[in-house]
Amino acid sequence: MQRASKVRVILDTNFLMIPGQFKVDIFAELKRLMNMPYDVCVFEATIGELTKFASGQRKDKAAATIGLQLIKQQNLKILPNSIGEEGLFESYLDAVIINNVIAGDIVCTQDRDLKRALKPKGVQIMTLKSGRHVDFG
């Protein structure tokens, strides 16, 4: 797979729920941290998870609804779902992310298992630190 001119910054479900849960502007944080051209992307599976949470009875229903609104407002690039040879992980979305990232991508997540699985792929991770700001790590 060949690298496009822009870095892909891929947001997972829990990262898109940060604005509703912690009142942190994740897009302002991305602008602050990124010093290169980038596209903010989500997989179709992320939209599916957020839709499920937003229509359910979970405590994070409002945060999921905000996440869905942000996808539209910020005009995020939507990536197709695909699962490769590496098998299933704890969630379908984790498998989609793990099987479709390439070295140089940046994945924004709070998921500890996903972070661990991405490290060998040469993918950078962004996460919420101290409930107040986003940083690499």
Q: pLDDT band at residue 82, thresholds of 50, 70 and 90?
A: confident
Identify the CATH class of 7-136. Answer: alpha beta
pLDDT at 59: 84
pLDDT of residue 89: 47
**Burial letters for 18-40: b for 16+ Cβ neighbours within 10 Å, e otherwise?**
bbbbeebebbebbeeeeeeebeb
Assess whether pLDDT exceeds 60 at residue 85: no
Pairing of strands 77-79, 106-108: unpaired
Q: Give the per-residue pLDDT at 136.
A: 95
How far is it, in rounded angstroms, from Cα 85 to Cα 104?
21
Q: What are 17-66's pLDDT values in tens digits?
A: 999 999 999 999 999 999 999 999 999 999 999 999 999 887 889 999 99
Give pLDDT tens digits for 91-132. Answer: 788 889 999 999 899 999 999 999 999 989 889 999 999 999
**pLDDT of the residue at 88:** 46
Domain positions in the chain: 7-136
Cα angle for residues 112, 117, 122 (degrees, 5° grid) = 115
